[in-house]
């Protein structure tokens, strides 16, 4: 039999549900895999084997009683360190919260447990989830399992690295500026950012989030197959009264024509030839699957949407963030604060009100656009996954990263769903495509993603590479 940690989540759950494999066996395999490879990549930064096995035994007892254990029965899942999991610190990658122990699970985590998932461990993230790189002064640096010279992405970098290396079958993370989609891209797996209001979110351990993050953050899954993401989304989307933004929208929308638009350079974004080739390849894959695919010159303004995202972020507690970053001392967080301090000082007192007004305008433009083009193919980033620590290599490195991530920054401002599908490797460097659809049309993202996936994706899970990282990488010097 294939080693259990290698199986897709849906296949493993079916084996557990039909008593061909026990949840304890699956959890023991996951723990053994964690012990074997996590020291090489530092993806999971906290776990308790005794609790993992207790959860597995509960699933096996349900199966023995003839009860339905859920669609994710016995599937080991990692949870990002900025999401509440009872009994563990919600560190958010900062020393200031290393002792902030959650008393309850977040709604998405509770929903996964009700669906039979086993919580395997806590995945690493950058300090305050601020970077597309993963390292901090609490938990250390996370490496990309495919290529240690590359970022594993951020801020759900630990989750993406874990899934890629076979540590858990799914990872739960958050996305306010690409934090699910970009790590999946960087590690060569798949990541889904659901619509605002699709998956309930709330951290009882922490103060209420400012309005900007509430309007832009989305909790979602990273996985090795599109089908695993579909099942995970269904589980995570169950209602929870703690989130006032949650919407009881159906997971399957009205039938739509198999029609996709493809934009290579949204907002005039200059892309490298490998990224252009990946988007064109995804378009051909859809066409081969019977979709009508047409190339368009541009989309509604992503620059304007990214500006809304920036102002909602900077206009909600930037002074407090600056002070917290100074107290924590993490170089990555300090670099972000330093880069935006001057810009934040120029904004007026009505910053948030103005950003919300502009958000309504750009959201309307995008909704009208997506009514005409139900599915949109975009580059994930202007570049291949970045050299690790690039954002700490002076102003040139920081702004190179920032500009390349236009798609990652712009879409969250409007609360749109989007899916990163990994399609290929260039040597050991992953590449892929981003699929966008209208609000609550994750089903269209997943439908297109499955057609693209069927024509080939990088092998996963893999054994982490042992080649040393790029010499002098600042992230490793300081994390």
User: Among this protein's residues, is 179 annotated catalytic?
Assistant: yes
Q: Quick check: is 143 catalytic?
A: no
How far are the Cα atoms of 101, 209, 307, 312 from residue 357, in angstroms, in the given order? 37, 20, 12, 11
Whole-Å CA distances, 282 to 263, 441, 451, 455: 11, 19, 9, 9
Query: Can you say whether residue 377 is alpha, beta or left, with left for phi > 0 and alpha for psi between -120 and 50 degrees?
Result: beta
How far apart are alpha carbons 101 and 205 in whole angstroms?
Answer: 7
- Of 106, 155, 218, 381, the catalytic one is 155
CB 184 within 8 A of CB 132: no
**Segments of 194-297 assigned E as strands:** 218-223, 259-262, 292-295
Q: Please give the structure tokens belonging to residue 26.
A: 């699956």
- Rounded Cα distance, 400 and 418, in Å: 23
Q: How far apart are CA 217 and CA 196, in angstroms?
A: 7
80 is catalytic: yes
Q: Which two tokens stand for residue 12?
A: 């493993």
The Cα 150–Cα 152 span in angstroms is 6
Q: Give me the catalytic one of 22, 80, 123, 418.
A: 80
Catalytic residue from among 27, 143, 179, 422: 179
Residue with tokens 């993370």: 173
| Rounded Cα distance, 41 and 23, in Å | 26
**Closest to 462 measured CA to CA, from 167, 27, 202, 70:** 167
**Catalytic residue IDs:** 80, 155, 179
């Amino acid at each position: 039999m294939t080693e259990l940690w290698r199986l897709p989540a849906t296949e493993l759950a079916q084996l557990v549900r039909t008593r061909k494999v026990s949840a304890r066996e699956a959890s023991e395999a996951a723990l053994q895999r964690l012990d074997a490879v996590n020291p090489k990549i530092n993806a999971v930064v906290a776990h308790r084997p005794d609790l993992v096995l207790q959860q597995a035994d509960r699933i096996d007892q349900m199966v023995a009683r003839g009860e339905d254990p859920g669609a994710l029965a016995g599937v080991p899942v990692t949870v990002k360190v900025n999401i509440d999991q009872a009994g563990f610190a919600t560190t958010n990658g900062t020393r200031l919260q290393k002792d902030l122990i959650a008393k309850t699970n977040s709604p998405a985590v509770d929903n996964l447990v009700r669906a039979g998932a086993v919580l395997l461990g806590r995945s690493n993230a950058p300090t305050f989830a601020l970077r597309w790189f993963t390292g901090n002064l609490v938990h250390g640096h996370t490496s990309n399992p495919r290529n240690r010279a590359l970022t594993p992405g951020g801020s759900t970098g630990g989750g993406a690295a874990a899934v890629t290396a076979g540590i858990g079958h799914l990872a739960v993370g958050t996305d306010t500026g690409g934090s699910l989609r970009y790590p999946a891209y960087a590690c060569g797996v798949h990541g889904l950012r659901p619509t605002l209001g699709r998956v309930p979110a709330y951290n009882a351990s922490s103060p209420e989030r400012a309005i900007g993050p509430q309007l832009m953050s989305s909790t979602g899954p990273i996985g090795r197959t599109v089908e695993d993401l579909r099942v995970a989304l269904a589980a995570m989307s169950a209602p929870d009264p703690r989130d006032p933004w949650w919407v009881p929208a159906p997971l399957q929308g009205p039938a739509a024509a198999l029609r996709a638009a493809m934009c290579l350079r949204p907002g005039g974004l200059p892309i490298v030839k490998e990224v252009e080739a990946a988007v064109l390849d995804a378009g051909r894959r859809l066409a081969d699957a019977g979709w009508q695919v047409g190339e368009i010159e541009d989309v509604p303004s992503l620059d304007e949407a990214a500006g809304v995202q920036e102002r909602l972020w900077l206009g909600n507690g930037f002074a407090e963030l600056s002070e917290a970053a100074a107290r924590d001392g993490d170089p990555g967080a300090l670099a972000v604060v330093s880069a935006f301090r001057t810009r934040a000082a120029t904004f007026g007192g009505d910053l948030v009100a103005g950003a919300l007004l502009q958000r309504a305008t750009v959201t309307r433009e995008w909704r009208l656009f997506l009514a005409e083009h139900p599915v949109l193919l975009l580059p994930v980033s202007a570049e291949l996954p970045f050299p690790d620590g690039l954002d700490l290599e002076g102003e040139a490195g920081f702004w190179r990263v920032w500009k390349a991530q236009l798609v990652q920054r712009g879409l969250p401002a409007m609360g749109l769903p989007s899916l990163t599908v990994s399609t290929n490797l260039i040597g050991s460097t992953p590449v892929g495509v981003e699929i966008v659809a209208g609000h609550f049309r994750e089903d269209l993202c997943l439908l297109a993603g499955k057609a693209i996936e069927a024509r080939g994706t990088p092998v996963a899970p893999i054994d982490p590479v042992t080649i040393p990282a790029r010499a002098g990488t600042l992230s490793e010097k300081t994390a």
